[in-house]
Structure formats: C-alpha cells, structure tokens
Amino acid sequence: MNKIAILTGATGGLGKAFLKELLKEDIDQIWAVGRNKNKLDELCSKYGDKIFPVQCDLCDESEVKKILALIEEKKPNVKFLINNAGMAKMSKMINFTEDEISKTIEINCKTPTIICQYVIPYMSKGSRILNISSASSFQPNPYIALYSATKVYLRSYSRSLNYELKEKGITCTAVCPGWIDTEMLKKEQNGKKIKFPGLVSAEKVAKKAIKDAKKEKDMSVCTLFVKNEHICSKFFPQKWIMNIWGKGVKKYVED
C-alpha cells in the first residue's frame, strides 16, 4: 500500500516549509492540497513525481468531499496528515462580512475536523496528524478575535483527539506558532508598518513541529519567546494580557 502524506495549504509559506520536511520522510507520495492550479503546478515541476496535486477549495464542503473520494479510491496508508491551510484578518469584529465569518470558521475549524474523520481510518500505528493552531489560542485577542477563537477550537480539539487516538498508536499535535514570516502577515495596515515581535521563519516552525509530532507531543510550541507567552497566559490574568495586546494592535485597525 502506498505510504502517503496529506498536506493542506501546501502552496503557502508554512506549507512549503512542511513540504520540504515531508520530502525527507519515508513516504511514497505527498498529496499537496491547494486552491491555485498554477501554484500547485510550480510545486510539481520543482519537486517532481512525488507530489500529487489536489486542487480543492477547502471552504467549499462539496470540494472537500473530493479528498474523501480520492482516499476511498486509492486506499493509501496515510503516515502524515498536516491540516495547515488557514485564513486570518486583523480587523474590528464589526467590520467582518457574513461570508468572511463563515469561510474563516469553515477552513480553520470544520474542514480540518472533517478531513481527520476521512483520514483516520486510513492511518496506522505511528501515523501523525498535525493541526496548525496558533499562539493566539493562548488567550482571547481583540482585533483578531475570530481567528484567535478558531485556533482555540483547533488546539482543544487536537489535544482531545490525541488522547482518544492513543490506543491506536496515532498521534495528533496542535502546532501553536507565534508570528511566522509568510504572506499571511500584512506588513502594513491603516497606513502603519506592523511590528511582529518574535517573528520566525516557516522552516524553523515546520522542523520543530515534525520533531515534536514524532516525540508524540500533543502541542508544539516553537521558540523560547512563544513558550514564555504560553506560560504568561497561564499565570497572569487574561484581562491584563488582552489589554496589553489590544492597546498594541488598535492602531493598525480601521474604525
């Protein structure tokens, strides 16, 4: 049976870094899931036959079913599932459209959950699920309120899933990075250059996440800076942290 990895958001900043890590693993094929055909073609020409492109809009339930159909057809042995695709917007909550709210919840929460349901029956002892949450799941964060809330969902769900899958020898790791230098981060907003304390490379996050998944950790937190944030969120009142965060970020959002 073909040993495969499934990676969503393969065409993005962190996705490409995960792809490079997966290419080092004992895997026959990497199913690279993305929306954009040109970007998927680029991956295929760069990395060759090992990449199996799956064009799919992960905000569209009927398209997500294509992944299930493929799994049922090919019956692979899934060694890695990395639910990495995600959406974020820094804004006052009141300025979100209904469509933006639905899509953010869909891609950050529902789709990774559904994909886990499809894939787990095709996993075996030693298989790894990595769900990309965020350090913004450590406490509520005004002005990225929706994003932060969806990442709380993904972290909580992933850790419980890890517990439930223990008897099968399958692990699920909630990856909780701080700021990563990718296109997701707008460098300027509301006429102001945004500062990203503790910014790291996607390569560093991906390497640490795979290492932690292999160590069977239910959470992966990269860099001392983010580990400190995690500890602070446990020991300081969350209202204090929200206040510091809110005051720092308010200048970047429009009324």
Ligand X SMILES: NC(=O)c1ccc[n+]([C@@H]2O[C@H](COP(=O)([O-])OP(=O)(O)OC[C@H]3O[C@@H](n4cnc5c(N)ncnc54)[C@H](OP(=O)(O)O)[C@@H]3O)[C@@H](O)[C@H]2O)c1
CB of 237 to ligand X, least distance (A): 24
CB 1 → ligand X: shortest distance, Å?
Answer: 27
Between CA 172 and CA 160 the distance in angstroms is 9
Name the closest residue to ligand X (Cβ): 12
Q: Phi/psi of residue 237, each to 5°? A: -60, 135
Choice between 106 and 122, CB closer to ligand X = 106
Question: Which stretches of the chain bind ligand X, using CB under 6 A?
Answer: 9, 11-15, 34-36, 39, 57-59, 84-88, 107, 132, 134, 177, 179-180, 182-185
Cβ(197)–Cβ(223) under 8 Å? no
Looking at the Cβ atoms of 17 and 170, the one nearer to ligand X is 17
Instruction: Report the nearest approach of ligand X to the CB of residue 220 (Å).
Output: 11
What is the smallest separation between the CB atom of 87 and ligand X, expressed in angstroms?
A: 5
Helix (H) or strand (E) holding 41: helix 37-47
Q: Residues near 113 by Cβ (< 8 Å), separated by ≥ 6? A: 157
Decide: residue 3, CB within 10 A, 0-12 exposed, 13-18 middle, 19+ buried. Answer: middle
Four-CA torsion 9, 11, 13, 18, nearest 10 degrees: 70
Q: Which residue, 14 or 123, is less far from ligand X as judged by CB?
A: 14
Residue 81: strand pairing partners: 6, 129
Q: How far is the CB of 78 from ligand X (least distance, A)?
A: 19
Rounded Cα–Cα distance for residues 217 and 45 (Å) = 34
| Beta carbon nearer to ligand X, 120 or 206 | 206
Nearer to ligand X, 105 or 185 (CB): 185
